[in-house]
């Protein structure tokens, strides 16, 4: 499968920088070590046998990445605003898919920086979903106390908006008011079920309030797969994406 050149490279690489071990029984002892650096740059010869080996897999991956899964009637952008088209789309998508796993979910939270790209108007492919969420993040349902839910609300207010669904609020001077979760006014004496992803659930983006929930449950769904499934379901139903801002987060400046 490999050319003699590749074989020699792999053999020497196994020796480079590692101990040479000698043994006449099951016990080993270090007899010496050596180091040699092998550079790979534009001057390195192309190995046709290696290309021949991986080319079929490359073609399969490219075919899957370019597969059209849906269509958007608008460009899903994410400007520096309290509410964005991409943020609303993403939050609605994971809420819809999360509710299939746990109907008790009341709201979702993502972060602006966690959404790594925008979607164009027109056809959307698998590749778009991978570019949006290039990490292997899993969806997680957290049961939070009212006090920790308040900290989530405070985080959203301090940052003047984050991608959310199932929760609405107004923000003035980086303080939230008129907060509604799951269609009801926020009550600090209640517990709430939040859908997010493991990076944030583990305290990422300074969300330490999520790292000590009453209960945590991984629902066996990658975030990226949730987005793909949501778009695919719309397509099967003969629908396109037509996200509109709905005022779920409003910053009051006067």
* Domain identity same for 150 and 187: yes
List phi, psi (to 5°) of 152: -65, -45
pLDDT per residue as tens digits for the range 71-114 = 999 999 999 899 999 999 999 999 999 999 999 999 999 999 99
* Domain identity same for 55 and 176: no
Query: Could you tell me the residue range of the domain that residue 158 belongs to?
Result: 72-251
Angle at 158 between CA 152 and CA 161, to 5 degrees: 75
pLDDT at 18 over 90: no
Domain count, the chain: 2
Q: How many helices (H) and strands (E) does the chain have?
A: 7, 13
Contacts of 168 (CB under 8 A, 6+ apart): 178, 179, 180, 247, 248, 249
* Domain identity same for 111 and 235: yes
* Domain identity same for 54 and 85: no
Contacts of 40 (CB under 8 A, 6+ apart): none
Kindly state the percentage of the chain with pLDDT values over 90. Answer: 70
- What pLDDT score was predicted for residue 27? 67
pLDDT at 47 over 60: yes
Distance CA 112, CA 175 (A): 19
pLDDT at 37 over 70: yes
pLDDT band at 9 (very low <50, low <70, confident <90, very high): very low
Distance CA 46, CA 128 (A): 31
Residue that the structure tokens 């053999």 belong to? 11
pLDDT per residue as tens digits for the range 191-244 = 999 999 999 999 998 899 998 999 999 999 999 999 999 999 999 999 999 999
When pLDDT is averaged across residues 167-190 and rounded to a whole number, the result is 97
The residue among 12, 45, 65 that closes a domain is 65
Tokens of 229: 């499934």
* Domain identity same for 18 and 60: yes
* Domain identity same for 26 and 87: no
* Domain identity same for 36 and 122: no
- What pLDDT score was predicted for residue 26? 63
Average pLDDT, the chain: 87
Confirm if 36 and 45 have CB atoms less than 8 A apart: no
* Domain identity same for 27 and 107: no
Confirm if 194 and 106 have CB atoms less than 8 A apart: yes
* Domain identity same for 154 and 208: yes
- What pLDDT score was predicted for residue 178? 98
The residue among 41, 65, 89 that closes a domain is 65
User: Domain holding 169: CATH number?
Assistant: 3.90.780.10
| SS3 assignment for 35-104 | CCCCCCCCCCCCCHHHHHHHHHHHHHHHHHHCCEEEEECCCECCCCCCCCHHHHHHHHHHHHHHHHHCCC
Beta bridge partners of 171: 176, 251
* Domain identity same for 179 and 157: yes
Tokens of 209: 């309030």
Q: Report pTM.
A: 0.78
| 42 vs 128: which has the higher pLDDT | 128
pLDDT per residue as tens digits for the range 143-160 = 999 999 999 999 999 999
- What pLDDT score was predicted for residue 46? 72
- What pLDDT score was predicted for residue 13? 41
Q: If we measure between CA atoms, which residue out of 134, 95, 96 comes closest to residue 113?
A: 134
* Domain identity same for 34 and 121: no
Confirm if 124 and 68 have CB atoms less than 8 A apart: yes
- What pLDDT score was predicted for residue 33? 83
Kindly state the percentage of the chain with pLDDT values over 70. Answer: 89
Beta bridge partners of 222: 138
* Alpha helices, DSSP H, located in the chain: 4-15, 48-65, 85-101, 126-132, 146-158, 198-201, 223-236
- What pLDDT score was predicted for residue 123? 98
Q: What is the largest CA-CA distance in the chain?
A: 83
Tokens of 211: 């790292």
The residue among 43, 65, 87 that closes a domain is 65
* Domain identity same for 53 and 123: no
Distance CA 65, CA 209 (A): 36
């Amino acid at each position: 499968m490999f050319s003699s050149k590749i074989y020699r490279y792999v053999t020497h690489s196994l020796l480079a920088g590692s101990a040479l071990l000698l043994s006449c029984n099951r016990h080993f002892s270090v007899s010496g070590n050596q180091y040699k650096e092998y550079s790979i740059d534009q001057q390195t010869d192309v190995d046709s046998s290696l290309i021949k080996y991986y080319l079929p897999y490359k073609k399969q991956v490219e075919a899957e990445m370019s597969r059209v899964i849906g269509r958007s009637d608008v460009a899903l952008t994410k400007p520096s605003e309290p509410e964005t088209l991409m943020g609303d789309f993403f939050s609605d998508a994971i809420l819809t898919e999360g509710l299939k796993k746990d109907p008790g979910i009341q709201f979702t939270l993502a972060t602006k920086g966690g959404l790594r790209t925008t979607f164009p108007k027109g056809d959307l492919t698998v590749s778009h979903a991978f570019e949006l969420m290039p990490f292997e993040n899993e969806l997680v349902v957290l049961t939070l106390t009212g006090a920790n839910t308040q900290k989530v609300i405070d985080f959203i207010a301090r940052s003047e908006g984050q991608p959310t669904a199932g929760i609405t609020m107004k923000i003035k001077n980086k303080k939230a008011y008129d907060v509604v979760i799951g269609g009801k006014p926020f009550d600090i004496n209640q517990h709430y079920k939040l859908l997010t992803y493991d990076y944030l659930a583990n305290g990422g983006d300074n969300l330490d309030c999520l790292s000590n929930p009453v209960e945590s449950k991984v629902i066996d769904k990658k975030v990226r797969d949730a987005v793909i499934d949501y778009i695919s379901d719309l397509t099967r139903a003969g629908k396109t994406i037509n996200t509109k801002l709905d005022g779920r987060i409003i910053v009051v400046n006067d």
